[in-house]
Amino acid sequence: MPALAVVGAQWGDEGKGKIVHYLSRGADFVVRYQGGNNAGHTVVFDDKTFALHLIPSGILLPLAHNVIGNGLVVSPRAFYDEVKMLEKRGVKVRGRLHLSTGAHVILPYHILLDALREQSGRGIGTTKKGIGPCYEDKVARIGIRICDFLEPNTFKSLVAQNLKVRAAELVRIKPLAAITKDVFKNYDRLRRFLAPFCRDTSILLEQALKRRKRLLLESAQGSMLDLDFGTYPFVTSSNPITGGACTGAGIAPSAVTGVIGVSKAYTTRVGLGPFPTELEGNTASYIRNVGKEYGTTTGRPRRIGWLDLPQLRTAIRVNGMTSLALTKLDTLSGIHPIKVCTAYRHKGKRLSDFPVSRRAQLEVEPVYESFPGFSGDISGARRFSDLPLSARAYILQIERWLGLPVSIVSVGQSRDQTIIRDKKFLQARNIN
């Protein structure tokens, strides 16, 4: 490494959890750097399925340390529930999970505000987990951090201050006295539970880098949900791109020596917003059902579309991706033909990249090229040569169009259902 970033190349749900879990075998520290429990990573390990929302996927491997960085917003209750779930299922967590004291805290009134906005016509299709309102408080400099949560007097004072600021909206839902009661329900128990996990994780990671330890940086959501470079305003409230890894983990940019973008072999999106290659009808239903395209966090059906190269080119550029992991190739088996969007047309012009204008994002028309499909169960493929010829041709053409190597191909949920096309890639990261 010393620090390898794994980022979502689309609108999230690309299969980052599995890729991170696979690469964690060569990592000493696995670090989440943004988002919150609105994220969902489904990982299959030892024939067991784990749905993780807040804790890095590396927790399922016995040796890796796992860090929840300062760039996250953390629900104490969600943290408690996820730790307890893992421990109940035999995963050793204590001593291996570290929570930044600089991360901001999601409280019950953030969740109330999130739901209110979604229901009042101002929503963008969020998970209603309170993520956006919590990040709003952070930017407005009234946020409450983990270090504040651990100090009862400080916490009490800040909650009183924030409820006054938010009163005009909150009283439309619930009396402030009732909201205050919700905030402090189980507070002492949660504070004592969180305390042993908490530390200045920026210092922890700096020390690890000085000792030449290997860091794996894990994003949540995807590049097209980035607050600055995504389909604004239908975006998340943080920066899932590589730049967010440095600010969200508290490490220097010079520490990041590689960036793997994770993309499905097609495209999906949850929530509202532009989606140029979106499909309707039988093909979309087939992909959704075969690929089990339902949100890990909410269970919502995902929107389905063909692979979008202009969108991927934008993600490659803003992340500085050095290679690509292509997931869910197996889901495309049985589809004839397979289409790829190679460019857009807009007002008589051909566009090779995703436009910034929100109007153009809605108006562009995809330019497609078609590939012969392939059939049969490819989930047992372990070498590139095991794949059908047309599947290999699909991947090789994507490489040529994007000018980026596809170093990993995933053909199933299990860690073992992975094809590594560049063995040097594994050796350089001490992955056996």
Are residues 410 and 325 in contact, defined by beta-carbon separation less than 8 angstroms?
A: yes
**Catalytic position from the list 41, 65, 98, 110:** 41
Which is nearest to 159 in space by CA: 191, 129, 119?
191
Upstream peptide bond of 2 is cis (omega within 30 degrees of 0): yes
> Counting beta carbons within 10 angstroms of the beta carbon of residue 228, is it exposed (0 to 12), middle (13 to 18) or buried (19 or more)?
exposed
Place of tokens 């779930």: 85
Q: Is 41 an active-site residue? A: yes
Measured CA to CA in angstroms, residue 241 lies from 12, 94, 265 at distances of: 11, 29, 20
Cα 165 to Cα 104, 168, 183: the distances in Å are: 17, 8, 16
Residues with Cβ within 8 Å of residue 158, at least 6 apart in sequence:
142, 144, 148
Helices (H), 57-186: 76-88, 108-119, 131-139, 146-149, 152-165, 167-170, 176-184
Q: 3-state DSSP call for residue 311?
A: helix
Where helices occur in 227-341 by DSSP H, the ranges are 242-249, 282-290, 309-319
Q: Note whether 30 and 218 are within 8 A (CB).
A: yes
Q: Which of 13, 28, 226, 308 is catalytic?
A: 13
Residues 27/239, Cβ–Cβ less than 8 Å:
no
For 235, the 3-state DSSP assignment is: coil
Rounded-to-integer distance, Cα 377 and Cα 95, Å: 41
100, β-bridge pairs: 199
Regarding beta strands 365-371 and 338-346, do their DSSP bridges make them parallel or antiparallel, or are they unpaired? antiparallel
Tell me the catalytic residues. Answer: 13, 41
